[in-house]
Amino acid sequence: MADIYAAQLNPGKLEVVTEWVAAQDWAADLDLGSAPLEPVTSYRFDDPAGEVGLEVHIVRSGDRHFQVPLSYRGAPLDGADEHLIATMEHSVLGKRWVYAGMGDPVFRQRLDEAIATAGTSAKQFRVDEDGRRIDEITEVAQAFGTGPLPGARDVEMLHRLSLDSPAEGTEGRLLGRWTGQEAAVVLAVMV
């Protein structure tokens, strides 16, 4: 389960996501000046140790949809400087180091596990300043794995999402749905 605080963030998540997307080769054709990124939804995975926040943002620019996996840590991740996107101040948790999710071993492990075990994204709960759960957040995406793909060696997170292509329930995929997107969308694939 993921606990979500009503916190002030500096810089904000959309600002961090936008800066990262703008620097990616796969986004070179985007004109974020005329069609800035807008948040659509997000989903999370659990870190069993409760130390790393694992969140995937789904955003859009015009009618094109993208996803950006991030990890949030309370200290720098050794050997991962190339994956560091930003540091942010969290009004409850303090300074956070924000990494590209696919460069964080905890994120990759949880993504792999969700696909291989037909697992799901984490339930999310609003919490008060003392960490007490107030209520479940249901207006988020639901991601779910389809089981392992025999012989696969890696997982590829899809940054550009195709909302119109049917997502077959084949093995080795992470699929997702959210309000307004009832047909499952392919989010990640085992390769």
pLDDT tens digit at each of 191 positions of the chain: 577 777 788 999 999 999 999 999 999 999 999 999 999 999 999 999 989 999 999 999 999 999 999 999 999 999 999 999 999 998 878 899 999 999 999 999 999 999 999 999 988 888 877 778 888 778 899 999 999 999 999 999 999 999 987 776 689 999 999 999 989 999 999 99
117: exposed, middle or buried (C-beta count within 10 Å: 0-12, 13-18, 19+)? Answer: exposed
Taking each continuous run of H as one helix and of E as one strand, the counts in the chain are 2, 14
pTM of the model: 0.93
Distance CA 54, CA 189 (A): 18
Read off φ and ψ for residue 102, nearest 5 degrees. Answer: -70, -10
Distance CA 82, CA 103 (A): 8
SS3 content of the chain, % helix, strand, coil (to 5): 15, 45, 40
Distance CA 73, CA 2 (A): 14
